[in-house]
Structure 1
Amino acid sequence: MFREERLDVLHDLITAHPLATLITAGGDGLIANLIPFTLHVGREHGILRAHLARRNKQLDALREGAEALVVFQGPECYVTPSWYPSKAENGKVVPTWNFAMVQVRGRPQVFDDVTWVREQIDEMTNNHERHREHPWTVSDAPEDFIAAQLKAIVGIEIPISSIEGKWKVSQNRMPVDRQGVIDGLRAEQVCPSMLAAMEG
Structure 2
Amino acid sequence: MRNAPHHASDDPEVVRALVREHPWTTIVSNGPDGLVASHYPVLLDDSEELVALTHVGRPDEELHGLGAGAEVLLVFQGRHGYVSPSWYAPGASRAPTWNFTAVHAHGVPEVLDAEENLAVLTRLVAHFEQHVEDPLYLDQEWGRRAARGTVGLRIPIDRFTAKVKMSQDKDAQSVQNVIHALRSPGPYAHPDLAEDMERARATGLGYR
Q: TM-score, normalised by structure 2?
A: 0.85
CA contact (8 A) 2:29 2:64 kept: no
Deviation at 1:132, TM superposition (A): 2.9
CA contact (8 A) 2:117 2:147 kept: yes
Which residue number in structure 1 is paired with residue 31 of structure 2? 26
| Structure 1 spans left out of the alignment, 5+ residues | none
Which residue number in structure 1 is paired with residue 149 of structure 2? 152
Deviation at 1:6, TM superposition (A): 1.9
Q: What code does the residue aligned with 1:166 have?
A: K
Per-residue CA deviations over 1:48-102 (Å, capped at 9, x if unaligned) read 111111212655522222111101101111111121122xx47x51210000011
Q: What's the secondary structure of 2:60's corresponding residue?
A: coil
- Distance, in Å, in 2 between the alignment partners of 1:136 and 1:81 is 47
Which residue number in structure 2 is paired with residue 103 of structure 1? 104
Matches within 5 A, 1:83-94: 83-86=87-90, 89=91, 92-94=93-95
| Structure 2 spans left out of the alignment, 5+ residues | 1-5, 200-208
The structure richer in helix per residue is: 1
- Distance, in Å, in 1 between the alignment partners of 2:132 and 2:143 is 22
- Distance, in Å, in 1 between the alignment partners of 2:62 and 2:98 is 31
Matches within 5 A, 1:32-181: 32-44=37-49, 46-56=50-60, 59-86=63-90, 89=91, 92-111=93-112, 113-139=113-139, 143=141, 145-181=142-178
Q: TM-score, normalised by structure 1?
A: 0.88
Identity value in percent: 33
- Distance, in Å, in 1 between the alignment partners of 2:33 and 2:169 is 41
**Equivalent residue pairs, number:** 192
Q: What's the secondary structure of 1:172's corresponding residue?
A: coil
- Distance, in Å, in 2 between the alignment partners of 1:58 and 1:35 is 16
CA contact (8 A) 1:24 1:58 kept: no
